[in-house]
Amino acid sequence: MSSELELDLWIKRDDLTGFAFGGNKGRKLEFLMADVIAQWAEVVVTCGSAQSNFIRQLGAACSRFGIHCAAAVMGLPYEERRPNVTKELARGGNVTLDEILGIELRVLPDGTWEELYAQADTLAAEFREKGKKVYSIPIGGSSPLGAYAFYVAAQEIKAQSEAFDTIIFASSSGSTHTGLAHAFHGTATRVRGIACDPEPEIADDFAKLSGQLEHLVGHGFTLTPKDFDLDFRFVGDGYGIPSEAGNRAIVKLARTEGVFLDPIYSGKAFSGLLKLAEEGAIGNRVLFWHTGGTPALFV
């Protein structure tokens, strides 16, 4: 791939962390589960799309500690209804793994993100009414501790390698992007998220998360929405809907390096990398942060 793109390409293999089929959510769970246990929670509640990688890895982490895991899910939390896509996403891949893990899934009809978050709150309230100690985690594990996990991940890559000109990855609920952007702020390394969610307002949420992360790391600055380099050109038809360019990128990397990407996140991100490389916009030493997601190939 490096010689084809005429640059020095590296891949950070978070798809190979070894926990529950891998992926970036394992890093967040290292810190989130410690907090769940410290608070003596009996039930962990979250929400996401049917093919959420976070729900799968969270369920596996809860299994390890004998904690019940429940999640409100929608096939496709997206304004524009796509019943056929929703139906496809409702089985196989992560859903199969969620079922094996015994995660309690409350499957809702498609609606907006806000409706999904509200249903997670309702689910948590129901457990509290039954006297359970509940720990709620926002979508994708993007709490301050989730962002902290990627701030720590940035220290890991700094220790492993000379500086990169650009770091590219799939960005959605924001803790991956926020942790990395915070850690590389003011350095020569440009942190570029390829958005997998079409709403530009997400940069406002990322900035808010940066403020919360700042309480944990104390660097004396908070990032603003403008500090987040988010490229929206590769979302395709919307969150969770595979794109043609993304699917081509999956095939290309598999046939060049034998490395698998996924259709919802990392494939779209790699399609962005290919385009940015063509535009000469990413320098020479480039890191693709592979965030995982490969179970969705089996949908």
Ligand X SMILES: *Cc1c(COP(=O)(O)O)cnc(C)c1O
The binding site for ligand X (CB under 6 A) comprises 23-25, 53-54, 140, 142, 170-177, 262, 265-266, 291-293
Q: How far is the CB of 295 from ligand X (least distance, A)?
A: 9
Helix axes 53-65 and 25-38, enclosed angle (nearest 10): 40
Does the active-site annotation cover 3? no
CA distance 77 to 280: 35
Compute how many other C-beta atoms are within 10 angstroms of the C-beta atom of residue 131. Answer: 7
Instruction: Compare residues 127 and 153 and give the one whose CB is closer to ligand X.
Output: 153
* Terminal alpha carbon distance of the chain: 27
Instruction: Compare residues 127 and 141 and give the one whose CB is closer to ligand X.
Output: 141
- Token look-up 């859903």 returns 95
Instruction: Compare residues 20 and 85 and give the one whose CB is closer to ligand X.
Output: 20
Q: How far is the CB of 76 from ligand X (least distance, A)?
A: 15
Q: How far is the CB of 173 from ligand X (least distance, A)?
A: 3
Catalytic residue among 49, 52, 171, 173: 52
Instruction: Compare residues 77 and 140 and give the one whose CB is closer to ligand X.
Output: 140
Is residue 135 within 8 Å of residue 39, measured between CB atoms? yes
CA distance 112 to 118: 10
Q: Is the dihedral of CA 98, 104, 108, 111 positive or negative?
A: negative
In the complex, residue closest to ligand X by CB: 293
Helix axes 144-160 and 175-184, enclosed angle (nearest 10): 50
Instruction: Compare residues 101 and 127 and give the one whose CB is closer to ligand X.
Output: 101
Q: How far is the CB of 24 from ligand X (least distance, A)?
A: 5
CA-CA distances (angstroms) from residue 131 to 43, 47, 128, 192? 11, 21, 5, 44
CA distance 193 to 203: 11
Strands (E), 94-136: 104-108, 134-136
Q: How far is the CB of 130 from ligand X (least distance, A)?
A: 30
Instruction: Compare residues 22 and 164 and give the one whose CB is closer to ligand X.
Output: 22
Q: How far is the CB of 126 from ligand X (least distance, A)?
A: 26
Three-state DSSP class for 168?
Answer: strand
Three-state DSSP class for 292?
Answer: coil
Active-site residues: which are they?
Answer: 52
